[in-house]
Amino acid sequence: MNANIPIIIVHTGDSFYLEPVLQQARKFNPDTQIFLISDSSTNHYDFVEHVSIDDYFASALKFKEVYRHLSINPYQYELFCFQRWFILLDFVSKTHISQFLCLDSDVMLYCKVKDVFKKWMDYDFTICMKEGPQYTLFKRDSLAKFCIYLYSHYVDKDMQKELEEWYKIEGISDMKFLMHYSRLPNVRVFDVAQVVDGTCFDHHMKVSQGFEMQGRLKRIYWQDGIPYGKEIATGNLVRFNALHFQGGIKHKLNQYIYRDLPLEKRICKNLLWWTNPKRLKSRFFELKKILSNRKMLVYFIQKRILWRLDKNR
């Protein structure tokens, strides 16, 4: 039970936010194996173990042959979200890792994984707010069954009908598969968005989860470098074991990374952050993606309008 739980991140491209995410995971888990399954562009972080994604891509390519795109997100983006589970399975199968934490590459960890996740080692996997894969503690055998579940929905006629039924309600993503899979009678899942021993995991900085908000994001109370949220119902402070900076919120990471630095150093670091060519390039492609996709643009505008209306109530 006290053995370290390996952390595995599947990610491509040397994104502007990747280094602080990896550093944060290492800071709180100095003795844990951290595997970065990625391409050659990220093979320069000497504090994690880099794994070539090409060596574990066979099953992912097989899935690509049957995949149908049923999402407003770009094809390649959504496809890779599915493929990562097959990449992970190939990796843990070949390396004989029986249980591991799959971490999203836009998560800031503020906990020691082996201490927090040891409570859920008997579950098939963990999830966040019924569908989130941000912090997924998976058993290898459970992941294998989930990958079969994914693949079967694109090749089995009866399961394809089920997929069509889901699509009538909303777009299809790997998160939706996790949600439906977790509801199967023989699958044991724990939702880490729940408060346990005064701590929980942030689902998304834009989602309240019953905590105070500050503008569009969760209000964070810092104590000794650890983030806390205040429950609206009780007024209690709850420790966040991790914060999830999904989407455009990643561009605000600097506000959390450099907050304790002396003023002069903080100003310098923030200037470097905002002028970082990788960040600027990422911002450009994000805006281009939204503007070139009508459904995504409408969704983006709707979310903005709804937030403004809610704010003014």
Q: Which residues, at least 6 apart from 152, have a Cβ–Cβ distance to it below 8 Å?
A: 159
Give pLDDT tens digits for 122-137: 999 999 999 999 999 9
Question: Average pLDDT in the 253-263 region?
Answer: 95
**Cα–Cα–Cα angle for 313, 207, 143, rounded to 5 degrees:** 155
User: Which amino acid is present at 265?
Assistant: K
Q: With 90 as the cut, is the pLDDT of residue 115 above it?
A: yes
Q: With 90 as the cut, is the pLDDT of residue 94 above it?
A: yes
Q: With 60 as the cut, is the pLDDT of residue 307 above it?
A: no
At residue 313, the pLDDT reads: 52
CA–CA separation, 48 and 88 (whole Å): 17
Give pLDDT tens digits for 24-83: 999 999 999 999 999 999 999 999 999 999 999 999 999 999 999 999 888 999 999 999
Q: Per the structure block, which two tokens stand in for 128?
A: 């966040």
Question: Average pLDDT in the 288-303 region?
Answer: 66
At residue 309, the pLDDT reads: 53
Question: Average pLDDT in the 200-216 region?
Answer: 96
